[in-house]
Chains A and B, each alone.
Chain A
Amino acid sequence: MGKKVALTGNEAAAHAIRQINPDVIAAFPITPSTPIPQAVAQFIADGEMDTELVTVESEHSAMSACIGAAAAGGRVMTATSANGYALMWEMLYIASGMRLPIVMAVVARALSAPLNIHGDHSDIMGGRDTGWIQIISENSQEAYDNLIQAVKIAENKDVMTPALVAQDGFNTSHTIEIWELEDDNKVKEFIGEYTPLFPLLNTDDPVTHGAWAPPNWYFEHKINQLKGLLDSKEVVEKVGKEFGDTFGRYYGLYEDYKLDDAEYVIVAAGSVCGTTKDVVDNLRENGIKAGLLKIRLFRPFPYRELAEALQSAKAIAVLDRVSPAGAQGGPLFTEIRSALYDTQTRAPVINYTYGLGGRDTQPRHINSVFETLKKIVETGKVEKQFDCLNLRGEWR
């Protein structure tokens, strides 16, 4: 059992980073993740960690320096949000393509325009195809636990893929919650030592990193990379179990909340799952079979397991904290619906966009989703496949 502390999500991430004590961090401040590099700088200034902190001049350089450092041969971490994550875009693909197990804390936030510093998933969802492992946290405890696990997942020899651990901007990052901070040495022991495979700094055996590949090789590189990413699924499960055995909190690919016999199911990711759990509890007390499927691992997308977990549902609502941007629905919706196509169920699946730019999502909004699901089952009709929660007026 760790020590119970009352700290924010950002502080949870910062403490995880302090305990991981990576060799190099290159970071550039951006709201709402700024408190992470700030805390790290203070830990270093106070001698509580001995990481080389490279205070770069942009997020593009942050990820570039992380890539250089990781290729050089050592443990590397960073943190960012929103526009900073977007500025890294080019380098995110390069980090994964060069198979460097960098771990990044992302405090998810809306992308401009209009400028907005508050929480949503526009950033991480936009980067879902960058080849990174993406783990989404519901609260501070998970932000802390997931970062520690991510190091072990990314560095696994079969994986060698960078990983990001997201938490929701402000909802989690700036909210004080009670969570368990584990013992420093126990965390160090859990993550173990990292031995890089082809360190650039081994001048006795010079290696060329980042060669370019023409049409006769590029394809093979990308498919090998995909294998590493897909193989991480098993490692996520394994590390989640090991983490549970060590610290008492077990993690799988997803979390099922009162899902076994659930007829009305919400699929969601991030802090809204906390609210949804409360609503599910209330509905259950009233005999309504509500349930939640909480996404934890979004990339690689564990589509078989998720589809399997949804088989009892009579109607499903998928909540996306990002605009569908012209697709049939949000990214989570389209993936869930696609995953279900190969299974027996033909339960209707509807999609909501919620919480953009920090818009509040309260129990009454989640309640309205369950009411709609109930109505769909009762009438057999889907009036709106897509809708918005807590938006002024009708969306269309």
Chain B
Amino acid sequence: MALLNELAKKKEGLVSGHRLCPGCTHSVIMRQVFAVAETDKYDIVVAAATGCFEVSTGLYPYTSWNVPWIHTAFENAASTISGVEAMYRALKKKGKLNKEIRFIAVASDGGTYDIGLQALSGAIERGHQFLYICNDNNAYQNTGNQRSSATPFAGSTTTSPNGKVKFGKEQPRKDIVSIIEGHHLPYTAQASPSNWRDLMNKIKKALDINGPTYINVLEPCTTGWGFPPHMAIEIAQLAVDTCVWPLYEVIKGKVVINYKPKKKLPVTEYLKPQKRFAHLFKKGNEHLIEEFQKQVDAHWEWLLKREECGIEYGV
């Protein structure tokens, strides 16, 4: 990868002036995408699902996008990009287009784990050339922090609120990476904007593949999660260091963990700075933190074991 000061000079695909909240990591992640994309070799075309990122960057009569960008609806970034990519292949075949283009679909967890899961599954199965980036902010943040299947256990949202007799979301998160992995696509990964070099490596790898690829990126949300804007990257780092958000890849079915914290921090380090988990620290709710820790540990141990066993498809 190029040096940081060289990357910083690259032409931005997403420019400043957008309306994202201060401290939002959507734009941080996208900057890292454009910084690593080899735009001297190929152009980028983006499809976006309805959501914070879309409404904040595509408000008529303005646009924050320096690359071709399309938004149609909430649940169909994957099927929209399927159509775009099919047209690309059609025009190339007919000699009407000679460019090299890489296709990226961007959605958050609502448009990916939930309402957009079918379209995403279909698009991956059909084998379109596209990188699907899910900026996972753990809830439907654009409509005001309603729970999604990506909301963590015990997280308080506006539709899974902490109350006198309830403690927030009762179910654990959906393991989307495993669902995606089940499509046996060439490349799946999970990344975090705190570990930017790792994230960028993954983006580059994905963009080099002529087929469907998927990267799940943690997208800390200052308003929905309840932390001060300057802490977004710190929160992301805590998610990684507590193993709440493991950084790993699944390449042809083989798990590669990209980062193993020297000292795995207790989940409380991650939970404490966020208002959505504040109720867990009230007396009598200790068991909820224990349960949270148990879920994180179980997933981490499972990943470690999978990596250790090293099984790969077609080998």
Chain A residues near B (Cβ < 8 Å): 23-24, 26, 50-52, 54-58, 60-62, 64-74, 76, 90-91, 94, 98, 200-203, 206-214, 217, 221
Contact = CB atoms under 8 A, between A and B. Distances in A.
A54 B71 contact: no
Given A64-B76, A210-B72, A212-B58, A50 B93 contact: yes
A214 B58 CA distance: 11
B86 A26 contact: yes
Contacts of A209: 68-71
A61 B118 contact: yes
Given A23-B91, A26-B82, A52-B90, A60 B75 contact: yes
Nearest to A51: B90
B61 to A, nearest CB: 7
A209 B81 CA distance: 12
Given A210-B72, A212-B54, 14 more contacts: A24-B83, A26-B83, A54-B126, A56-B82, A57-B119, A64-B80, A67-B80, A73-B87, A91-B76, A201-B97, A203-B45, A203-B67, A206-B67, A211-B71
Nearest to B75: A60
Contact of B83 (A50, A67, A221): A67
Contact of A72 (B65, B76, B84): B84
Contacts of A72: 83-84, 87-88, 91
Contacts of B55: 212
A58 B116 CA distance: 12
B311 interface: no
B60 A213 contact: yes
Contacts, number: 169
A18 to B, nearest CB: 15
A66 B73 CA distance: 13
B188 interface: no
B69 A91 contact: no
A284 B70 CA distance: 57
Interface residues of B, number: 49
A206 B101 CA distance: 13
B63 A68 contact: no
A201 B91 contact: yes
Contact of B94 (A23, A57, A212, A217): A23
B159 to A, nearest CB: 22
Nearest to A57: B122
A55 B82 CA distance: 10
B89 interface: yes
Given A57-B125, A68-B84, A98-B72, A73 B91 contact: yes
B67 to A, nearest CB: 5
A54 B82 contact: yes
B208 interface: no
Nearest to B69: A208
A121 B146 CA distance: 39
Contacts of A74: 87, 90-91
Nearest to A28: B122
11 contacts: A23-B94, A52-B86, A56-B79, A73-B87, A91-B73, A91-B76, A206-B69, A208-B58, A208-B65, A208-B68, A211-B71
Contact of A211 (B60, B78, B101): B60
Interface string B194-213: 00000000000000000000
B99 interface: yes
Given A23-B90, A68-B70, A200-B68, A211 B58 contact: yes
A61 B86 CA distance: 13
Nearest to A214: B59
Nearest to B70: A209
A68 B58 contact: no
B178 interface: no
List 5 tightest A-B contacts by C-beta distance, closest first.
A68-B83, A57-B122, A65-B83, A72-B87, A61-B79
A206 B126 contact: no
A60 B99 CA distance: 29
Contacts of A203: 43-45, 67-68, 99, 101
